[in-house]
Chains A and B, each alone.
Chain A
């Protein structure tokens, strides 16, 4: 695609800046928060952000329905979103890449099985199944990560399979066969490094999706349990007050939107940079 390179690299840089600064905020959260994100103060509930009428300097982004400092909760929320995003990508990447590489490399019956498993996964209604699992097993951060990891591997598998099929026929793989390398060593040393750049792009897409899904699950009351400050949960808890003070859903919503946008822009930038194929 012949887009203007300056705009393109600006957007990619913007994405990288958003993701890096969110990661930094997540790591340094305890040092950054002005207040305890869990400390309630029922005397000062729903204080608007400091630049609005009735706001006060102590609570830059105001307080929530229980008087907890919104900025502090937002900062701790970054931890949850980043944690969910990264861990889900690790879990789903392990499953999806293993399946995809095996199917693409060995072909035949093994590939049929892999394709069948992918088809089954795609047929399952994602959110409904995730909700049921969290509801039945009990809601906690780790359950959400495992559930999403077990459900979101499909794109990893599809891309790993397709790219492995291409790499399999390359000369250097034939050379490795000829040199007497084992299957395992060919998979790990020849195939994986040469499809890795495609998988990095998929990882950004899946990270964005995982963060959105966690927020949706928490919004529906079956994600991360309160009082943890998940951004989705913050929106759900603030929903009843949004008609009188719309900022209560604006603050966590914008944070969520900006982070996911940043990850997607970074992914697009990486795709251009690494020359990975566009899928979907």
Chain B
């Protein structure tokens, strides 16, 4: 087990290093950073000044190692635009994205698990087919469009919920619903297939033979066994949701990390862009590490692999 954890940690760090390199290379795609920062009206002198001020006149490889070293010591660089440390900017925006992600995950689990159980209990029936059809429809829904529709109907026509901003807790409800949509199909399918297997297993048959009630069999015996893989996948889904919340933050004007990334991209604030890419990747890596370790605890066969 210890060996497995060490292997997994090493792998996570290697992935982190690769993402570090990619996020650095990404911002160099435009060719000359200094020209991009200076903007279209800048003179050659302006560009030269900027190149010097930001240390862009040094060889790329020096810049890279400089950046990698400062990241390792916890310094993500300074924003060209706000002139504040990027780490502070991310820290300020993080609560919004994290809350949104968690609200979305809760809504997704609260929808996906009951529906998945219901589909498994009525396997092969029209109820089952109907629920799986919902999953297909959910997958086809463009999230930004769904967001706009909810804004028009729930926010504006019915005035149930605020349509943008998060001054109150209920500002998270609409974006949370939209974000949940992306995770519901996968979680629902997993719950369903786990429950189908569990319900067909020997211990459920034993429980039935003992005369336990249907509710008790499903919730106590079957669900407990089907739930653990769902938890592991939920962690990975949360990672995807935090990375993908950028579209939803844009639709609902939530000033989270994704919004920061989008803003910085359109304003050529490269230190922020590369730091946000790195940060979101790090979140994902930590969450998948958690999911892997959870799986290893549950299934000893994986530890040797």
Chain A interfacial positions (CB closer than 8 Å to B): 1-4, 7-8, 11, 116, 119-120, 122-129, 131-133, 135-137, 208, 212, 215-216, 219-222, 232, 235, 239, 242-243, 246, 249, 253, 256-257, 260-261, 264-265, 268, 278, 280
Asked if B26 is at the interface of the complex by the 8 Å CB criterion, the answer is yes
- Say how far B140's CB is from chain A's closest CB, in angstroms: 4
Q: B265, A243: Cβ atoms under 8 Å?
A: no
Complex CA gap A242/B155 in Å reads 13
- At the interface, is chain B mostly helix, strand, loop or mixed? helix
Q: Which partner residue on chain A sits nearest B143 by CB separation? A: A216
Q: Which partner residue on chain B sits nearest A254 by CB separation? A: B145
B280 interface neighbour in A128, A133, A264, Cβ under 8 Å: A128
Question: Quick one: which of B141, B142, B243 has the most chain A CB within 10 A?
Answer: B142
- Say how far A207's CB is from chain B's closest CB, in angstroms: 12
B285: chain A residues at CB < 8 Å are 123
A221: chain B residues at CB < 8 Å are 266
B152 interface neighbour in A128, A136, A243, Cβ under 8 Å: A243
Asked if B136 is at the interface of the complex by the 8 Å CB criterion, the answer is yes
Q: B140, A261: Cβ atoms under 8 Å?
A: yes
Task: Give the residues from 86 to 124 in chain B that come closer than 8 angstroms, CB to CB, to chain A.
Answer: 123-124
Q: Which partner residue on chain A sits nearest B267 by CB separation? A: A135
Complex CA gap A263/B126 in Å reads 22
B30: chain A residues at CB < 8 Å are 136-137
Complex CA gap A239/B142 in Å reads 14
Q: Which partner residue on chain A sits nearest B182 by CB separation? A: A212
- Say how far A151's CB is from chain B's closest CB, in angstroms: 11
Q: A131, B265: Cβ atoms under 8 Å?
A: yes
B48: chain A residues at CB < 8 Å are none
Q: B148, A264: Cβ atoms under 8 Å?
A: no
A264 interface neighbour in B15, B124, B126, B136, Cβ under 8 Å: B136
B142 interface neighbour in A127, A135, A257, A280, Cβ under 8 Å: A257
Which of these binds chain A: B53-61, B167-175, B221-229, B244-252? B244-252
Complex CA gap A7/B136 in Å reads 14
B144 interface neighbour in A116, A219, A265, Cβ under 8 Å: A219
Q: B136, A133: Cβ atoms under 8 Å?
A: no
Q: Which partner residue on chain A sits nearest B243 by CB separation? A: A125
Q: B258, A132: Cβ atoms under 8 Å?
A: no
- Say how far A221's CB is from chain B's closest CB, in angstroms: 7
Q: A127, B137: Cβ atoms under 8 Å?
A: no
Q: A208, B136: Cβ atoms under 8 Å?
A: no
